[in-house]
Structure 1
């Protein structure tokens, strides 16, 4: 008679923590609509009785959900289910992105490349669908940016607003949230690496040109203009 083979890593049964089981049950309740966005979470005692577990398992599961942004825990009040959005989900990785960009300088180059590819796609979509209201908003942003050439912080803020407004033309919340995250990581976490070199007028001219091409619905020319704009502006970001 053959002896039973020793279990491989693939066959081995791993005992799960009770808190992980509680977490999965609560997440399923959210997915099913039993716990909709904005709803108060059941009390710890109710969860203990429902799942037959102790308080530590419930608290650990709730803390995990809070860390993931699924619920908000407020001291003295009942925890509530958060309404998830593309922006709220992507913003959860801000701290990790900051650590990555700070600890590995080459990641800045990867981020700039990702932004270039992403924004060139966005500007093509924008050129195909931009309406008069979109164009008016973009011209207003450029006008306000022109008035802030002596204030680097305000100029950069409006620069971000310009690119995010182009993303908004897509009417795709995931594209908008991704644009906001990429720019936030680049400007917020590497603001100290931004070397302004008296090129504000060039930036403004390029922005004007991009808006003109969007208004003309010239997608190919808009992509070419955005590529040139980002290739030049990306040179302003470098590690010492």
Structure 2
């Protein structure tokens, strides 16, 4: 019995153009912020029409590799971890909204990550770091009656703890993990009494970090996040 070979799928013309543009961007001759050739120049060089050029450029823009502004030639985008994570957000929210297992895995990943961030913060903290953490908690306390502001301050606190590590990727990840989860259980911190408890737990984390106690810092962060996880399960498993 012979097997009929699968048909070979033709690539879209814009995909071919995209590969050529990627080669230009990654070739090393252009720096972030440099202009790419004009649309007309690319049409001539690649011998393709305007639609293929524009579709390829839009794909590269979605990938965060190209900046497109009205009336200007496209530029090579400046590397940005924040931008990269932002582009992932809608996809992540789609995944989380359709998979309880993914939500559980994300909470577990955040717990492991944040506990280690607290441990590192206790080891590396400076006086200015502690002052900034105290200020962040103070701002959150002042925003306790404003749901959106309270949540923003909450996220800022966790990012501030991660920032002490000195690794900017950790700071961006802390914010992303918080934002992805907050999108689904913002109501948990708005239950009566939860705002005060959140602030108390943040204060305890800062106290431990200020004391330079890595174990106590990790435990304070774990207690804080495990409390939130427990409330989540109580609310959605009932």
TM-score clears 0.5: yes
Structure 1: gaps of 5 or more residues: none
Count of matched residue pairs: 234
Q: Which moved more, 1:151-160 or 1:120-129?
A: 151-160
Give 1:67-216 correspondences, 5 Å limit.
67-192=62-187, 195-216=190-211
Structure 1 segments of 4 or more deviating over 4 A?
Answer: 5-9, 12-15, 192-195
Among candidates 26, 48, 59, match of residue 31 of structure 1: 26
Structure 2 partner of 1:19 = 14
Whole-Å Cα distance in 1 between the matches of residues 105 and 8 of structure 2?
40
Q: State the SS of the aligned residue for 1:92.
A: helix
- Measured after TM superposition, the shift of residue 116 of structure 1 is 0.5
- Measured after TM superposition, the shift of residue 211 of structure 1 is 0.9
Whole-Å Cα distance in 2 between the matches of residues 100 and 149 of structure 1?
30
Q: State the SS of the aligned residue for 2:90.
A: helix
Whole-Å Cα distance in 1 between the matches of residues 212 and 205 of structure 2?
10
- 1:112 and 1:55, CA in 2 relative to 1: closer, same or farther beyond 3 A? same
- Measured after TM superposition, the shift of residue 189 of structure 1 is 4.6
Is residue 56 of structure 1 aligned with residue 51 of structure 2? yes
Q: Is the contact between residue 189 and residue 195 of structure 2 (CA under 8 Å) also seen in structure 1?
A: no
- Measured after TM superposition, the shift of residue 90 of structure 1 is 1.2
- Measured after TM superposition, the shift of residue 8 of structure 1 is 7.6
Q: State the SS of the aligned residue for 2:19.
A: helix
Q: Is the contact between residue 125 and residue 209 of structure 2 (CA under 8 Å) also seen in structure 1?
A: yes
Whole-Å Cα distance in 1 between the matches of residues 194 and 25 of structure 2?
50
Whole-Å Cα distance in 2 between the matches of residues 8 and 168 of structure 1?
54
Q: State the SS of the aligned residue for 1:235.
A: helix
- Measured after TM superposition, the shift of residue 141 of structure 1 is 1.1
Q: Is the contact between residue 39 and residue 50 of structure 2 (CA under 8 Å) also seen in structure 1?
A: yes
Among candidates 215, 218, 233, match of residue 228 of structure 2: 233
- Measured after TM superposition, the shift of residue 162 of structure 1 is 0.8
Q: Is the contact between residue 195 and residue 236 of structure 1 (CA under 8 Å) also seen in structure 2?
A: no
Structure whose residues are more often helix by fraction: 2
- Backbone CA RMSD of aligned residues: 2.5
